[in-house]
Amino acid sequence: MNVTLIGYGAGNVASVRFALERLGARVRITDDPTDVAEAERVILPGVGAAGYAMQRLKALGLVEALRAFPRPLLGVCLGQQLLFETSAEDGETELLNLIPGRVEAIEPAPSRPSPHMGWSRLTIRRDDPLLEGVKDGDWAYFVHGFVCPDGPATLAAADYGVPVPAVVNSANRWGCQFHPERSAAAGARILKNFLELPA
């Protein structure tokens, strides 16, 4: 199982790498667009601000490589958000435009502080190979202050006073808003399923 992890200075690369290696994967970390184009499958991690992440991806020449990538691609946390069209973060940030919709800030409320930080249960909306073996009510670990639009791409959601698209898919692109590398058995199962998707 070979997987390429994008190391672009805005990701939780080490923890994702360790989680993948525990599953027996051979992990390559790169910021080279040629490596990405040749990869069997790619994971785009992310922590922090969308604007900074997109600046880094553009500077490294990775935006077009990711847009053109034809095999399984998984965005993790901020990496999921980057798959969408735009983000309200930093005014208006253009993202990778791989899934329709705009990423918005979580509106805080007394029972819903922002960022959303901690464990939430997943509700499965649609069957998908990435969710094989993951059940309604399984727990996942979230840390995020922005939320993707809830729409046709949503495979699983969490309830945070509003629906939080927790897992999304469009064509060969998947996203996890939570951190699968920190989400115990359910997270490990999702990463294993991703590694087994046909390349």
Helices (H) and strands (E) in the chain, counts: 6, 14
* CA Rg value for the chain: 15
Catalytic residues: 77, 179, 181
Chain position carrying tokens 């390559």: 28
Q: Where are the alpha helices (DSSP H) in the chain?
A: 13-22, 33-38, 50-59, 62-68, 78-81, 184-196
CB atoms within 10 A of CB 198: 9
C-alpha to C-alpha distance for 12 and 181, rounded to whole angstroms = 9
Helix (H, G, I), strand (E, B) or coil at 142: strand
Chain position carrying tokens 């969308």: 50
Length of the chain: 199
* Residue pair 145/114 in contact by the 8 Å Cβ criterion: yes
Q: Which two three-digit tokens encode residue 194? A: 């991703």
